[in-house]
Chain A
Amino acid sequence: MTTAQEHNGIGKDLIVYVCLLALAGVQFVIAYQNIDASQMLTRMLVVACVEAGLAALFFMHLWTEKRGFLLFVAVFTIAVLLGLQYGWTDSYRMVTGAPFSH
């Protein structure tokens, strides 16, 4: 991205801001829905992922960085975040599998 492209004015930032507010509103609505916990968690996480992506790309200026660097940040971060997820199954074991869990 060139410097000229970075000086697009406040319009794009405002659009992203309104989108983020709308997504936060969606999260608020989901929080009060009468659905089971796993469904709620899934929906909340999907909305939070989109929000975080938008904010990282436009509010943290990742979109204006070189594509190679954008890819590095995205791949590295996503890989580590996915790596952290391996513990969830063990947390279910704590509730249902271990003899001392109850």
Chain B
Amino acid sequence: MSQADLTIGHSTTQTLGPAFSIPTKKFAMWLFIIADTMTFAACLVVYGFLRNGTPNWPRPFHSITNVAIMTFILLTSSLTMLIGLRSARAGDKGAAFRWTMITAALGIVFAFLHIREWLELIDHGMTLLKNPWGTGLFGASFFSITGLHLTHVTCGIIALLVVGVRYKGAGTMRMTSRCWACTGISWIWFGCSSYRWSTF
């Protein structure tokens, strides 16, 4: 039931809508995003806790240029997604498809840079349990945090491809764009922090 009318007395009628008067699907998406934010935040706090409480924390990164490039790519992909969404709202299916695919391509570039960074670390002898620079906790926490983000990006790319190919209007694209932007925000926080806290 989406709406209920309550009649109190003879003349006062009050209309009650659904929670926050927003569609159920949108509400569910927001709850998912909020829950995801909590997961990311908890991981970030754990990483910070370990970083703060471990005297011999490794600092294998000597530059954050790669992170800056990755941040630029992810922010740009959020913008291209918005352009795609605007095209969908305007009813331009072709442009919506093109911009969604551009967004997915930027996501793939981001994932490629991410995996390249991982492979370099693995080449230096870093695993989940040990590394040549200091406490073994670093590998476990770094790989799990950045891995969680990479999983989100990968799922996001798949969602973008599905939404782009099976185009069903602006509603679905709007929800996907929200999720994709969430991936960008979480990177600002936590990708950057996990790298920055282990630099120099």
Instruction: List the interface of chain A (C-beta within 8 A of B).
Output: 6-7, 9-10, 13-14, 17, 20-21, 24, 27-28, 31, 44, 48, 51-52, 55-56, 59-61, 65-66, 68-69, 72-73, 76-77, 80-81, 84-85, 87-88, 90-95, 101-102
Contacts and interface: CB of A to CB of B under 8 A. Distances in A.
A59 B82 CA distance: 7
Contacts of A10: 82-83, 86
Nearest to A53: B185
Main secondary structure of the interface of B (DSSP, over half): helix
Contacts of B181: 55-56, 59-60
A27 B185 CA distance: 14
Given A21-B75, A61-B178, 18 more contacts: A13-B82, A17-B78, A24-B72, A24-B75, A24-B188, A48-B188, A51-B188, A52-B188, A52-B189, A55-B181, A59-B79, A60-B182, A69-B22, A73-B30, A84-B45, A91-B50, A94-B53, A95-B53
A43 B78 CA distance: 24
Contacts of A85: 45
The secondary structure that dominates the A interface is helix
Q: Which 6 A-B pairs have the closest CB atoms?
A: A94-B53, A59-B181, A91-B52, A91-B53, A69-B20, A91-B49
Contacts of A31: 64, 196, 199
B134 to A, nearest CB: 14
A55 B74 CA distance: 12
Interface of B: 20-22, 30, 33-34, 37-38, 41-42, 45, 48-50, 52-55, 64, 68, 71-72, 75-76, 78-79, 82-83, 86, 89, 174, 177-178, 181-182, 184-185, 188-189, 192-193, 196, 199
B55 A95 contact: yes
Contact of B71 (A14, A24, A92): A24
Contacts of B68: 24, 28
A92 B192 contact: no
Contacts of B37: 77, 81
Contact of B185 (A7, A52, A93): A52
8 contacts: A13-B82, A24-B71, A48-B192, A48-B193, A51-B188, A56-B181, A84-B42, A84-B45
Nearest to B71: A24
